[in-house]
Amino acid sequence: MKRSKIVRIISLAIGFTLVLASVCLGQTMSDEQPAVLQPTVNSGINIVVNGESLAGSVAPIIEQGRILAPVRSLAEQLGAQVEWRAAENKVRIDKDKDRIELTINETSAVINGEKINMEVPARVIENRTFVPLRFISEALHARVTWMPQERTALVELNPANKPVDANIKINNYTCSPKQLTVTGTARVWEAYVAYEITDKNDKVLFNGFTIASSGAPEWGDFSFSVEGDLSEAHILRVFTESAKDGSRIDVVEYFLKPFGTARILAKEPGSILVEGILNGYSNQLTRFYFAISPETIITDANNNQLPESQLQPGDEVQIWIAYPDLVLESWPAQAGAGKIIRISNDID
């Protein structure tokens, strides 16, 4: 692994104010042309897809409190193909085995042959087709997080977190300058679980292995402890070895240095927006978005594990990032959360 680095992907200009106003429906319907909705406001909304601003010069709009995005830009940035079927007044979106069909001005869509209701319909505005952002993104297996203070929607097809189908899972770890303790579960050949601890230059400080309580295809529990000088410990890496060629497989990594301490400003399932001094990123007060995966370790100050639902706005938390090599610098910056300790949930 190379030394951790910040990948600068995008810097979004924030400064627009969201104007909530009624949107006028054009009444120029004919047998050949669908009703056209004339936009009356600039929504001031930013859409970021996998760390990159939504392509194109057409801004999203707001209808009934919902964001509508230009279909071609959104779908193609999510890896799908778009076909406009003028004779049927429909737009079709295809990706892998998924097919989404929307009829303009209708509050339903057909996904893989099943009719699904939508809260707002697809629209044609100034010869551009707009579709409900959240509905289409989720139908294409992406996650949408709305960040109200920044007027930004984050769409993540591949969120910065570890795969949920990994064969090694870390349940918890604690690290002091003199001792590291790790617990987890594994479904690996001959129950063999190896580990190493490296410094920030990827120099191995400690390594070893342990045997889980069961081998594949069963899940087995494992734990290990490392004692010694851990003051320079940077990365915990846990893995097993291929029975075929001895190469490392099922590798999971965690930062051992806290990224910083902050207060939760906003929360949605699978994500939090925080503000604080995050020394792993900046020594200035900053806001930061963290994606929470099923692999994110969440505990209280006494090391008792907590469900994600226990994290709430106002909580003070200490955070470790999941991927040492990847921070997406948008506004606010974003990364996957490897571990979160709720220090306090009683902040005025």
pLDDT digits (tens, 9 = 90+) for 225-258: 999 999 999 889 999 999 888 899 998 888 888 8
Q: Which domains does the chain have, with CATH numbers?
A: 46-156 (3.30.457.10), 168-255 (2.60.40.10), 260-344 (2.40.50.320)
- Asked if 124 and 34 touch (Cβ cutoff 8 Å), the reply is yes
- Whole-number average pLDDT of the chain: 80
DSSP 278-325: -TTT-SSEEEEEEE--TT-EEEETTS-B--GGG--TT-EEEEEES-TT
Average pLDDT for 134-152: 81
- Asked if 159 and 293 touch (Cβ cutoff 8 Å), the reply is yes
Radius of gyration of the chain (CA): 24
Which range, of 96-105, 271-280, 319-328, averages the lowest pLDDT? Answer: 319-328
Q: Answer yes or no: pTM beyond 0.75.
A: no
Give the whole-angstrom CA distance, residue 324 versus residue 235. 8
- Calculated CA dihedral for residues 7, 13, 14, 16, nearest 10 degrees: -150
Between these two residues, 327 and 174, which has the higher pLDDT value?
A: 174
| 140 class by beta-carbon count within 10 Å (0-12 exposed, 13-18 middle, 19+ buried) | buried
Give the per-residue pLDDT at 329.
Answer: 54
